[in-house]
């Protein structure tokens, strides 16, 4: 599967400008790289995140769904649509929508672990469903930014036998080393491909660190970036995951009966 991950400097609280930019970037990506799947960063409609989220949160995700559905159908490409601020029945969510090559919405994920240092938990409602879906017949998973720190949550995805984990993010400085280390660790410990797509640029409070990464199940970096806008590309050889599991099969060697005994 050929992946293109688009690392962007998003306009703060300006969904129209961000839509325009994403449309251009997707056009450019399709012309230059012809990927199977395009991946976007977290909260791309407003950036992470305006205090007055009420103003521009997407009602029922209607606008975002129409926008991404049109692009995925037009370019016959799967889109892992990063996340956007949404509002459903007066509750705000950090929501990710996924589309297949026919423009069908195939999956929706609401961020589960809200980033309390930025007061995200006071503005948004947390989701409570695992993010699992299929792209071109491949089982894949999604988690959003801060979710990456929750090893138990990502393990549940891995135990569901996903092959690729997508992590859209708005991960700021000064924690670039956490971001890179955790992406690699989640790839190695779960023997998965991990596609981490961050933002760059600044808001009134944060500077996003970029350094998006595509990592293979052995923790080898297939594509990396700095803190500029860029498109990362990698072809994921899904057979490699099988070979790695044959060499060190941590899933065969797990002792879940002990983990359950000591669980608190
Ligand atoms: N957008 C986020 O969830 C930020 C997470 C973060 O900065 C961290 O975990 O560190």
CA of 199 to the centre of ligand 1 (A): 12
Position 207 confidence tier, pLDDT thresholds 50, 70, 90: very high
The pLDDT of residue 213 is above 90: yes
Q: How confident is the model at residue 47 (pLDDT cuts 50, 70, 90)?
A: very high
- Confidence label for 214 from pLDDT (cuts 50, 70 and 90): very high
Mutate to test the pocket of ligand 1, among 43, 83, 118 (most ligand atoms within 8 A of CB): 118
Kindly give the distance from the C-alpha atom of residue 239 to the centroid of ligand 1, in angstroms, as a whole number: 32
**Which residues are near ligand 1 (CB < 6 Å)?**
42, 48, 115, 145-146, 149, 170-172, 175, 178
Give catalytic status of residue 145 as yes or no.
yes
pLDDT value of position 94: 98
* Superfamily the domain 2-262 falls into: Carbon-nitrogen hydrolase (3.60.110.10)
Distance from residue 171's CA to the centre of ligand 1 (Å) = 5
Res 261 pLDDT > 90: yes
Residues of the chain above pLDDT 90, percent: 98
**Which one of the listed residues 21, 145, 163, 209 is annotated catalytic?**
145
ipTM value: 0.99
Assess whether 209 carries a catalytic annotation: no
Q: Mean pLDDT, the chain, as a whole number?
A: 97
How many A from CA of 234 to the centre of ligand 1?
Answer: 25
For a mutational test of ligand 1's pocket, the pick from 95, 110, 145, 212, i.e. the residue with the most ligand atoms closer than 8 A to its C-beta, is 145
Grade residue 124 by pLDDT with cuts at 50, 70 and 90.
very high
Among 42, 120, 163, 180, which one carries the catalytic annotation? 42
Residue 115 Cα: closest atom of ligand 1: 3
Render the chain in DSSP notation, one character per residue.
-EEEEEEEEPPTT-HHHHHHHHHHHHHHHHHHH--SEEE--TTTTT-S--S-TTTTPEETTHHHHHHHHHHHHHHT-EEE---EEEEETTEEEEEEEEE-TTS-EEEEEE-SS--GGGTHHHHSPPP-S-EEEEETTEEEEE--GGGGG-HHHHHHHHHTT-SEEEEE--PBTT-HHHHHHHHHHHHHHHT-EEEEE-EEEE-SS-EEE---EEE-TTS-EEEE--SS-EEEEEE--HHHHHHHHHHS-HHHH--HHHHHHH--
CA 179 / ligand 1 centre spacing (Å):
9
Res 264: pLDDT: 81
Confidence of residue 263 (pLDDT cuts 50, 70, 90): confident
Q: Taking 90 as the threshold, does the pLDDT of residue 80 lie above it?
A: yes
| Best probe residue, ligand 1, of 50, 96, 115 (max atoms within 8 Å of C-beta) | 115
pLDDT tens for 2-12 read: 999 999 999 99
Ligand 1 mean position to 257 CA, how many Å? 32
Residue nearest to atom 9 of ligand 1 (CA): 146
Flag whether pLDDT at 70 surpasses 90: yes
**What are 228-245's pLDDT values in tens digits?**
999 999 999 999 999 999
Name the residue at shortest CA distance from atom 3 of ligand 1: 146
């Amino acid at each position: 599967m050929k992946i293109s991950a688009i690392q962007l400097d998003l306009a703060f609280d300006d969904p129209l400008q961000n839509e325009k930019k994403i449309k251009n970037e997707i056009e450019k990506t399709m012309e230059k790289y012809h990927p199977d799947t395009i991946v976007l960063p977290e909260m791309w409609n407003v950036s992470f995140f305006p205090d007055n989220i009420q103003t521009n949160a997407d009602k029922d995700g209607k606008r975002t769904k129409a926008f991404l559905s049109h692009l995925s159908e037009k370019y016959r490409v799967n889109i892992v649509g990063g996340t956007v601020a949404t509002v459903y029945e007066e509750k705000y969510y950090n929501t990710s929508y996924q589309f297949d090559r026919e423009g069908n919405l195939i999956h929706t994920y609401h961020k589960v672990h809200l980033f309390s240092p930025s007061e995200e938990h006071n503005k948004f409602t947390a989701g409570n469903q695992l993010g699992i879906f299929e792209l071109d017949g491949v089982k894949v998973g999604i988690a959003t930014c801060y979710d990456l720190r929750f090893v138990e949550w990502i393990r549940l995805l891995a135990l569901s036998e996903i092959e690729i984990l997508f992590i859209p993010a708005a991960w700021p400085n000064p924690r670039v080393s956490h971001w890179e280390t955790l992406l690699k660790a989640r790839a190695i410990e779960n023997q998965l491909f991990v596609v981490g797509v961050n933002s760059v640029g600044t808001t009134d409070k944060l500077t996003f660190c970029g350094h998006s990464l595509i990592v293979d199940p052995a923790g080898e970096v297939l594509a990396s970036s700095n803190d500029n806008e860029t498109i990362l590309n990698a072809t994921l050889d899904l057979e490699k995951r099988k070979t790695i599991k044959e060499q060190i099969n941590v899933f065969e060697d797990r002792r879940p009966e002990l983990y359950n005994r000591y669980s608190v």
